[in-house]
Amino acid sequence: MAKWRIVLSIRILFLAWTVPSSAQNQTGLIQDLRIKATVGFEHFNRAIAWDASEETTKLKSSVFTFRPALEINQRFSLAGIIGYSLSNHGTVFSRELPLSLELVEGNTGGLLFGGELGAMLVETGDFEIGLRGEYVYYNGKQESFEIPGLAVNGTVNTQPKWQRIHGGLQFTYIRYSYIYPYLRLAYDYLWGRLVVEEQIQDLTGSQEMTFKSSGRFNAVAGLDYEPADGWTLKAELSILPNSSSVDWGVMAGLSYVF
């Protein structure tokens, strides 16, 4: 399952760098084609509900990304996403193993793959209205721990994985030159699993614990600032309400257009 997601992300990344020049020459529809490269950092804090129990914890993730993108006629964009994430799923209990365990919170590194689509739909007065969508897949590395307090050797292996989709309408205020504030209202859903394997001498067991985000909708306030020709600084603050609290996230990025 993970293999096809990685292959799909690589294809998106390839498409973000290449476009058939013959199609441009034959149709004449592509009048302005630009390549944009963006480096960014994102941190978010999400309440997640575990399906196997009534537990709720916080998923905290710090993400470093690189996004190569194609911009067509300054209206459409297609980007690939590659990056690295440090994710922390919080403290959770694994009760379907030979020996029940409390898995304490801690950061787990892993690779991130995905893609992003953007489109400007209409310009009216001082505003632009557009669409933005994103999909990312995080594949955490497997970690091994010794089980403390046993008279014999015991180990546990854990591996977290999660996916996130985000998509919605973006309203950008374009009256001022070089400074473009915007508001995006989006559907934002995160889901994943934590695989736990336990071995105590000849006794083995495993459990797959699934989770999903408690909130599904996201309000994002952002700002694009162009300090020099070709350069853009981006900053975002996101608010994600759920049934018991309000989650949040921040993002910062630096882009250059070739």
- 70-80 pLDDT, tens per residue? 999 989 999 99
pLDDT for 23: 40
Give the C-alpha separation, 59 to 75, whole Å: 34
pLDDT digits (tens, 9 = 90+) for 213-228: 999 999 999 999 999 9
- The three-class DSSP label of residue 153 is coil
Residue 25 has pLDDT above 50, yes or no: no
Of 65, 159, 166, which is closest to residue 117 (Cα–Cα)?
166
Residue range 2-16+37-257, CATH number = 2.40.128
Residue 114 has pLDDT above 60, yes or no: yes
Q: Are 184 and 169 in contact (CB under 8 A)?
A: yes
- Mean pLDDT value of segment 167-177: 96
Q: Are 114 and 135 in contact (CB under 8 A)?
A: yes
Helical spans, DSSP H, in the chain = 2-17, 21-27
pLDDT for 27: 47
pLDDT for 66: 98
Q: Whole-prediction pTM value?
A: 0.85
pLDDT for 26: 44
pLDDT digits (tens, 9 = 90+) for 39-69: 999 999 999 999 877 789 999 999 999 999 9
Ranges of each domain in the chain: 2-16+37-257
What amino acid is encoded at 227 in this protein? P
pLDDT for 28: 52
Candidate from 9-13, 143-147, 223-227 with smallest mean pLDDT: 9-13
